[in-house]
Amino acid sequence: MVQKTFRVSAVIVWLSSVSLGILTTVPKIAEKHPNGFEAITSALITTSFTLFVWYFNIYSLPKFTKEHSSSGFSYPLLFRSIAIGMVLMFLMVGAQKLAIPSLDFGPVVLMFEVRGIMINLIFYMLLHLLYQTHRNQQVILELERSKADNLGAQYELLKQQVNPHFLFNSLSTLKSMVELEDRNSVDFILKLSDFYRFTLENRKLDLISLAEEIEILDAYMYLLKARFEEGIELEYRIPEDVYRTWIPPFTLQLLVENCIKHNVVSLDKPLHITIYEENGLLIVENPLQLKKNPEHSTEVGLDNINRRYFHLLNQKVQIENDQEYFRVKLPLIHENRNH
């Protein structure tokens, strides 16, 4: 991450310097017999000195704080600024003495030196506060950027998990069909090829339309029908306008896959899966007819879906199990948030 350079607005620098210079003329103007020229030179000295303190510390502060103090407070920089300031103030008061010979040099130079030290202390503390605020903001921004990059990387991994998981299950299905010498094996391979074409087209997207997701699911169901025939049924009860909402790719396919993994699917006991909309949620529902010896769970399916929804919407999917039906409720997404 590129570090932002520490800067103080020139308006603040000049406005504060000029204002302080004008304020120092008040005692002179308030005298019984004010000396206008002396008041002006005093204001110029104070303004010029304050500008020096500002810019000297602005350009020196980042270097000195890194070299001399983990806390950011640099005593060497402060003492150096005071020392140089005292010499500079002495020279400026000397120039004022040349311009105003009647000036009582000793008391005036002492007054200006004390003023210079006070200006140095006050403005260094102010700059230190501004600089530490700047550094803290940079750290926070860097942490936020790292967090965002990390979340993005995690999300990309989530999307990449879908394809290997599906491929494993599809090859297992194909293996079973080949072992049974199923005549539909060739068609299955062709449909599997078509399905992976969908995968390649949509794998880089965060969201696709529900209509496209249904098209992918229909292709997947063809592959399942090749194996289970009438042992699995899928019913849609989705209003027309809901087809225009958005969904993370392969969400429905993973949910159907999860149903098959945990439930009996047979001609004697068909698995009936229903997808419908209710109260602003897309619901995938199946009756519970659990296997006695369920397949080993890789915990990719529901966890993957849940984490993708949380990443995109900061919401989790709702899972219900009333001992008769198992339901997964997905929030409807009405806005395309790809990338």
The pLDDT tens digits of the residues spanning 162-181 come to 556 567 767 887 787 788 77
Q: What angle do CA 224, 225, 228 make, to 5 degrees?
A: 85
Query: What is the arithmetic mean of pLDDT over 92-108?
Result: 81
What's the confidence (pLDDT) of residue 228? 81
**Contact indicator for 193, 144 with CB cutoff of 8 Å:** no
The pTM for the full model equals 0.53
Q: How far apart are CA 227 and CA 225, in angstroms?
A: 5
Residue 281 neighbours by CB distance under 10 Å: 15
Query: What is the arithmetic mean of pLDDT over 42-64?
Result: 80
What's the confidence (pLDDT) of residue 220? 83
Tokens of residue 250, six digits: 């392969």
**Contact indicator for 263, 308 with CB cutoff of 8 Å:** no
Query: What is the arithmetic mean of pLDDT over 74-101?
Result: 82
- Comparing CA positions, the residue from 209, 215, 172 lying closest to residue 195 is 215
Residue 38 neighbours by CB distance under 10 Å: 18
- Comparing CA positions, the residue from 127, 138, 112, 114 lying closest to residue 56 is 127
Three-state DSSP state, 195: helix
**What is the sign, positive or negative, of the torsion defined by CA atoms of 277, 279, 280, 285?**
negative
Query: What is the arithmetic mean of pLDDT over 215-243?
Result: 88
317: Cβ contacts below 8 Å, ≥ 6 apart: 302, 305, 306, 309, 328, 329, 330, 331
Give kind and range of the element (H or E) at residue 329.
strand 325-331
Query: Quick one: how far is CA 125 from the chain centroid?
Result: 33
**Contact indicator for 282, 330 with CB cutoff of 8 Å:** yes
Measured in degrees and rounded to the nearest 5, phi and psi for residue 165 equal: -65, -45
